[in-house]
Amino acid sequence: MSAKLKRILPLALSTLIILITSTSAFAVTPTTGVCDPGSGVDLGTCLKLSNDTPIKDVYSQPAFLVNLIVRNLMILGGMMVLVLAIIVGYKYITGGKKALQDANQIALWGLVGFLIMFGAYWIVQIIKLITGADIIL
């Protein structure tokens, strides 16, 4: 077994076990007739939040849920950019020649990620302006 596979395998197995055995905020709870695979599945009714409230009662349209997820991903992306900036600064201050090269690579890819995130935000804003769609970002 290769060294790379030996490092990745425990992480992959533990992630799989957590996904299979954990109780998440969403749990599929079948009800009579509505969630039967043969009759078509209404996910808004079948998927319930942790307090047994169907998702469709909290989020009346899929757009509300998508906006919530995207907004939180933008916040997470911003925090990641901040962490990358701190890592790059630390490597520049404490490192030698190899650390400077690593810091340059991290800074480059952090900047690319930020530009993609920034561009996606403004593309959505332009689409919102042109179409008049109600996008909450």
> What's the pLDDT score for residue 23?
42
Kindly report which listed range (6-20, 25-39, 92-106) carries the lowest average pLDDT score: 25-39
CA atoms within 13 A on the CB side of 111: 7
> What's the pLDDT score for residue 137?
59
> What's the pLDDT score for residue 66?
76
CA distances for 64 relative to 38, 43, 70, 114, angstroms? 28, 15, 10, 25
pTM for the whole structure:
0.54
Burial of 28 (0-12, 13-18, 19+ CB in 10 A): exposed
Residues recorded for the chain: 137
18 against 72, higher pLDDT: 72
Taking residues 33-62, what's their average pLDDT?
A: 72
User: Within 10 A of 103 (CB to CB), how many other CB atoms are there?
Assistant: 19
> What's the pLDDT score for residue 36?
61
Asked if 46 and 33 touch (Cβ cutoff 8 Å), the reply is no
Taking residues 89-113, what's their average pLDDT?
A: 91
